[in-house]
């Protein structure tokens, strides 16, 4: 008869095997946050110590990982985005063999918020909120503002089917993007299926036309455990700090 230690060893290996099977079956997709240790403990009627040992087995196998603020999640390749040129998220994901989708959460012509009005110079704007998915899993909450004069002929179906860059009736010049780390709001956490307060990357982008006039403003919120940004740095002078680095007071 196995002793208490032997029973605990059998139990955590059984739990690890069951979780492994659930991942293989697609119940937990790549990048998806697993239930908390407390929830798993209740679901499997096992102690937190036993659950953690089972998860450690899967981490050693490269199936799951843990990060402060997220808890445990299924390992997946990071969604890498290059910042050296103006392009869409969907285009970069497609080039990596990832199926990109967008779900429109809100489509409305509204009065511009003060910050948006200052940037775009418009009092009325088209505001589109959407959820971007990669291989079926949410990876970004995006809000885009466009002057009403440029977006007045666009429909909800248009912006669900194609990126704004392909829909605007003006040639584009470039964009400025600002990236900062934040804690996920309750609303974004629910959309992105991550714990509230967990780390996210917030990117604000202002896109201009060929004459340098702002035509789009957008905010993108990415789960911190799934996204990385890549910047190619040419040979600099004396400093090796990334260009554009600014301390936030």
**pLDDT at 1 (0 to 100):** 43
pTM of the model: 0.69
pLDDT at 56 over 70: yes
Domain 79-230, CATH 3.40.1410.10 — does that match? yes
Mean pLDDT of 104-129: 96
Q: What is the pLDDT of residue 71?
A: 79
Tens digits of residue pLDDT in 142-195: 999 999 999 999 999 999 998 898 999 999 998 888 888 899 999 999 999 888
Percent of the chain topping pLDDT 70? 78
Q: How confident is the model at residue 245 (pLDDT cuts 50, 70, 90)?
A: very low
Q: Identify the pLDDT of residue 148.
A: 96
Structural domain boundaries in the chain: 4-74, 79-230
Task: Give me the pLDDT at residue 105, please.
Answer: 96
Determine the Cα–Cα distance for residues 146 and 217; give it in Å rounded to an integer: 7
Question: Does 77 or 138 have the greater pLDDT score?
Answer: 138
- Residue whose C-alpha is closest to residue 73's, from 21, 22, 36: 36
E strands, the chain, in order: 64-67, 71-74, 79-82, 100-111, 124-134, 137-147, 172-183, 199-209, 214-223, 227-230
Higher per-residue confidence, 215 vs 180: 215
Q: Which residue has the higher pLDDT, 69 or 153?
A: 153
Mean pLDDT, residues 223-235: 71
Given a cut of 50, whether residue 247 has pLDDT beyond it is: no
pLDDT at 199 over 80: yes
Q: Give CATH for domain 4-74.
A: 1.10.10.10
The radius of gyration computed from the CA coordinates of the chain, to the nearest angstrom, equals 22
pLDDT value, residue 243: 52
Q: What are phi and psi of 177, to 5 degrees?
A: -125, 130
Confidence of residue 111 (pLDDT cuts 50, 70, 90): very high
């Amino acid at each position: 008869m196995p002793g208490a230690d032997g029973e605990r060893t059998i139990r955590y290996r059984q739990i690890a095997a069951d979780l492994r099977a659930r991942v293989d079956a697609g119940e937990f997709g790549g990048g998806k946050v697993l239930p908390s240790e407390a929830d798993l403990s209740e679901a499997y009627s096992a102690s937190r110590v036993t659950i953690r040992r089972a998860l450690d087995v899967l981490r050693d196998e490269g199936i799951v990982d843990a990060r402060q603020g997220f808890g445990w999640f299924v390992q997946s390749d990071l969604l890498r985005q290059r910042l050296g040129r103006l392009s869409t998220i969907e285009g970069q994901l497609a080039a990596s063999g990832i199926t990109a989708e967008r779900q429109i959460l809100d489509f409305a012509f509204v009065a511009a918020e003060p910050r948006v009005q200052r940037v775009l110079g418009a009092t009325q704007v088209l505001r589109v909120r959407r959820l971007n998915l990669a291989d079926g899993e949410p990876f970004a909450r995006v809000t885009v503002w466009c002057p009403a004069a440029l977006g007045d002929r666009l429909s909800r179906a248009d912006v669900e089917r194609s990126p704004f860059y392909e829909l605007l009736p003006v040639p584009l010049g470039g964009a400025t993007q600002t990236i900062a780390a934040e804690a996920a709001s309750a609303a974004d956490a629910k959309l992105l299926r991550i714990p509230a307060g967990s780390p996210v990357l917030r990117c604000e982008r202002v896109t201009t036309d060929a004459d340098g006039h702002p035509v789009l403003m957008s905010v993108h919120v990415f789960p911190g455990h799934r996204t990385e940004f890549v910047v190619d740095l040419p040979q600099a002078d004396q400093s090796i700090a990334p260009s554009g680095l600014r301390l936030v007071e």
